[in-house]
Structure 1
Amino acid sequence: MTSQELTEKELDRRAVSFGFLIAIVLVAANLRATLTGVGALLPAIERDAALASGGAGLLSTLPLLTFAATSPLVGRVSHRLGASRLLVLSLAVLAAGTVLRSLPSLICLFAGTVVLSAAIACGNVLLPAVVRRSVPTHRIGTVSALYVTVMGLIAAVSSGISVPLSDALPGGWRTSLGWSLVLAVPGLLVWIAYMRSDAGRPAPAARRSETPWRSRLAWQVTFFMGLQSLGFYSVIAWLPSILADQGTSASAAGWMLFFYQVVALLASSVVPLLSRGHDDQRWTAATASALVAAGFVVLLVAPGLSFLSCTLLGLGGGACLVLAMTFQSRRAASPAQASALAGMAQAIGYLVAAAGPLVLGVLHDHTGGWGLPLLVLTGLSFAMAAAGFGAGRDIQLTDDSV
């Protein structure tokens, strides 16, 4: 029996500690808190900073572009520093970037956004690797769902409290942009303690896994990640505009977007229960993708059924996000390989996500309606089903010969 097999058997017998779950949850809480409140504050930022529409669009797109640029580098840095040390460094940089973004300077606003987005990209890539290293295989889906649910919950909270905080606190929107320090500082302290305790454990031989560019399975995981990200960010960017063009009031359209996120949050919590005991997740991924496609179809052919379309989009989208993160852990044969796979999937995935809303906006302007953009989103959802059907196979990269 190889040392790798022994490690896997020991891991499967190990219980997941409460302290480890708290550490994971604190990282997850910091991965969206600094970003999702920006949209609600954007009108005030444009007005006070004299920011043109193009600058506002760049401010919204910069995090995704930074994710795409940073993700491929995380595995290499993690190999040298170790995942725990890099997470500590990332949380410290995140806190510094959050402060920098809140300073009274337009340059600081953009520079801080890049800095904190690079730190978040490290967390995005490292979480699947840390989960792969520390969680028994049959618990990976549950732990992944836990941190995805926390990400969604904090994202919704950040969107909701940013404007009230801006109105209530001195400094307005600049102070509101810094509220997430109350999450970054505890997360940093907990991970410093976890790193110290981790340093006392015998470490496996350091190995670095190359990015699996030639693996069909890796590309299926990557395309599934990219297409679910494109669908999510397209809905976030354009759903209120689509509903408004169909006659829904601006207030009602905003509430429908909130409802979509709540349904997605609930779906992400339920996926582990539905897939418990099923290592083969092909049909789960395909069904979730089909729900997303159905949501776009209803939005296209029956505008009056926005409640139904948002329900379908939320159910499918929430499930697809959990599966996308789970695949990055479960399809890897080692923590190093999980880091490499996550770097590949997220680099390309967030690049696709950044381009998606922009391309859909161009199609809308060119055609004067939302028919073609929604047809494109429907087609891409079926492509996501095909990618998910491949990525959901119960195999790992080392088992994939094509």
Structure 2
Amino acid sequence: MSIKIKKSSQLLLVIIIILVSFNLRAPLTSVGPIIHFIQNEFLLNNSMAGLLTTLPLIVFGVISLFVSKISAKFGSMRTLISGLVLILIGEAIRSYTGLYGLFIGTGILGIGIAVGNVLIPSFIKQKFSAHIGPVTSLYATSMCLSAALGAGLSAPLILQFNFDWKDTLFIWSILAVITIATMFFYLIKNKSAKLPPKTTTPELFGINEKSIWKSPLAWWVTLFMGAQSLVFYSLAAWLPSMITSKGMGVEFAGLMCLIYQLMAIPATLIIPVLAGRRDDQRKLTTIKIGIYLSGILLLFFTKSKMIILLSVILMGIGMGGSISLAIAFISLRTPNAKKTTQLSGMSQSFGYFFAALGPFLLGFMYDITESWNLPILALVTVLILLAFFGLKAGSNNVTHA
């Protein structure tokens, strides 16, 4: 049951969700476009540079398992604030403490982002149980927009405004400061509000009938989250190389990557709202995965610029729909905020472990075959599995485990 709060407080909570979402992607996507500046300063090879982008995903996978217990003890708002503080600290260490700090700060930053990743779906469930679809839509859209801004602004800040790469990465800390201040303002404004009673949380891998880990439905949601994460991060890493292998230039490939990110935004706006209006999301899931699959099959067969553009548009729509559905499933398939937090931690932990494997495995396939055909076919296979997982996760049911 959601806590009854004033309309002004509800608006402030929506603003907080949007602000938090901007802190969860921009600090990460801002690295890729300027990674060569970092490599040049620290003489990093491609493997070390790859570790810098993969490290947060590994941290997400580990930390997501523990957020539920921490939140149950300290409360979701306080835990979220702690996560934002870690993001702020991580950004400072990453930018200004040398080579070791670059990796240590990235790890700390990853811990803070993992907290937000896990808690926001349960936060939405708790505070907006009657409006899960629209609020999830705002959350997912804000994440996609921040990802696009992070990727799109980094290089211009250096090349056109003469920023140092350190300042370019640290500039996103302004978001963290604003978000923390807004959250403290909310706590002060609502300090007289009665807090919900604390509840005990089952052991992380507890063997009892209440463990979320024993729920088949929870595993279908987890597999859906994992499969869509693997495809997303694999394409984020290798889509430019796939496009240039078709004989296209680097500039065209970069433009296609931007379009891929931007085309996700309309889908993240619409899909959670449609999902929230239905008890059963299987038809919606099938349509979205069909669009995704059509896009990647077009990429496999074509060498035409116009068809590549069409394929990227379809993949972007499919990607946005898949991400937003995965987030929506976490709230829609659970009966209360406590279970939502547990399922969020479970699904995102495995999801990011899968995501970390994807770019590596596709790169390995390319090294063996010297062609992107097999990696693309591997993604086709994962998308077919994603459709199956979506049929299971999208059925009208909730987990009571």
| Further displaced range: 79-88 or 166-175 | 166-175
Report the counterpart of residue 69 of structure 1 in structure 2. 62
Q: Give distance in 2, aligned partners of 1:285 and 1:109.
A: 39
Report the counterpart of residue 303 of structure 1 in structure 2. 303
Contact persistence 1:162–1:176 (CA under 8 A)? yes
Q: Give distance in 2, aligned partners of 1:337 and 1:25.
A: 23
1:249: Cα distance to partner? 0.8
Q: 1:37 aligns with which of 25, 30, 48?
A: 30
1:392: Cα distance to partner? 1.1
Q: Give distance in 1, aligned partners of 2:358 and 2:177.
A: 34
1:151-166 equivalent positions in 2, closer than 5 A: 151-166=143-158
Q: Give distance in 1, aligned partners of 2:220 and 2:159.
A: 45
Q: Does residue 244 in structure 1 map to residue 236 in structure 2?
A: no
Partner SS state of residue 171, structure 2: coil
Report the counterpart of residue 164 of structure 2 in structure 1. 172
| Further displaced range: 159-168 or 106-115 | 159-168
Contact persistence 2:152–2:258 (CA under 8 A)? no
Q: Give distance in 2, aligned partners of 1:229 and 1:37.
A: 19
Q: 2:94 aligns with which of 97, 101, 105?
A: 101
Q: Give distance in 2, aligned partners of 1:11 and 1:225.
A: 31
Q: Give distance in 1, aligned partners of 2:50 and 2:97.
A: 20
Partner SS state of residue 206, structure 1: coil
Deviations 1:166-188 (A, max 9, x none): 34667610111101012110100
Report the counterpart of residue 213 of structure 2 in structure 1. 213
Contact persistence 1:104–1:174 (CA under 8 A)? no
1:74-85 equivalent positions in 2, closer than 5 A: 74-85=67-78
Q: Give distance in 2, aligned partners of 1:250 and 1:169.
A: 23
Contact persistence 1:133–1:335 (CA under 8 A)? yes
1:301: Cα distance to partner? 1.6
Contact persistence 1:286–1:388 (CA under 8 A)? yes
1:49: Cα distance to partner? 1.2
Q: Does residue 371 in structure 1 map to residue 373 in structure 2?
A: yes
Q: Give distance in 2, aligned partners of 1:199 and 1:303.
A: 60
Q: Does residue 89 in structure 1 map to residue 82 in structure 2?
A: yes
1:15: Cα distance to partner? 9.6
Q: Give distance in 2, aligned partners of 1:276 and 1:224.
A: 18
Report the counterpart of residue 4 of structure 1 in structure 2. none
Report the counterpart of residue 128 of structure 1 in structure 2. 121
Q: Decide whether aligned partners of structure 1 residues 285 and 186 sit closer, same or farther in structure 2, where only a CA change above 3 A counts.
A: same
Contact persistence 2:263–2:317 (CA under 8 A)? yes
Contact persistence 2:133–2:273 (CA under 8 A)? no
Partner SS state of residue 303, structure 1: coil
Query: What TM-score, normalized by structure 1, do the two folds share?
Result: 0.93
Tell me the amino acid that sits aligned with residue 391 of structure 2.
Answer: F
Tell me the amino acid that sits aligned with residue 252 of structure 2.
Answer: A
Report the counterpart of residue 335 of structure 2 in structure 1. 333
Partner SS state of residue 341, structure 1: helix
Contact persistence 2:272–2:325 (CA under 8 A)? no
Q: Give distance in 2, aligned partners of 1:386 and 1:99.
A: 43
Report the counterpart of residue 114 of structure 1 in structure 2. 107
1:315: Cα distance to partner? 1.1
Q: Decide whether aligned partners of structure 1 residues 148 and 16 sit closer, same or farther in structure 2, where only a CA change above 3 A counts.
A: farther
Q: Give distance in 1, aligned partners of 2:313 and 2:275.
A: 20
Tell me the amino acid that sits aligned with residue 328 of structure 1.
Answer: I
1:255: Cα distance to partner? 0.4
Contact persistence 2:300–2:376 (CA under 8 A)? yes
Report the counterpart of residue 196 of structure 2 in structure 1. 204
Q: Give distance in 1, aligned partners of 2:163 and 2:31.
A: 15
Report the counterpart of residue 206 of structure 2 in structure 1. none
Contact persistence 2:9–2:186 (CA under 8 A)? no
Report the counterpart of residue 346 of structure 1 in structure 2. 348
Contact persistence 2:288–2:321 (CA under 8 A)? yes
Contact persistence 2:297–2:380 (CA under 8 A)? yes
Partner SS state of residue 263, structure 2: helix
Report the aligned-residue RMSD.
Answer: 1.9
Structure 2 unaligned blocks of 5 or more: 203-210
1:199: Cα distance to partner? 4.1
Report the counterpart of residue 289 of structure 2 in structure 1. 289
Q: Give distance in 2, aligned partners of 1:219 and 1:86.
A: 26
Q: 2:49 aligns with which of 56, 69, 78?
A: 56
Report the counterpart of residue 3 of structure 1 in structure 2. none
Deviations 1:367-386 (A, max 9, x none): 12111111111111011011
Tell me the amino acid that sits aligned with residue 238 of structure 2.
Answer: W
Q: Give distance in 2, aligned partners of 1:13 and 1:301.
A: 55
Tell me the amino acid that sits aligned with residue 213 of structure 2.
Answer: W
Tell me the amino acid that sits aligned with residue 324 of structure 1.
Answer: A
Q: Decide whether aligned partners of structure 1 residues 69 and 168 sit closer, same or farther in structure 2, where only a CA change above 3 A counts.
A: same
Q: Give distance in 2, aligned partners of 1:141 and 1:362.
A: 39
Q: Give distance in 1, aligned partners of 2:336 and 2:226.
A: 22
Report the counterpart of residue 208 of structure 2 in structure 1. none
Tell me the amino acid that sits aligned with residue 91 of structure 2.
Answer: T
Contact persistence 1:16–1:135 (CA under 8 A)? no
* Alignment length (residue pairs): 391
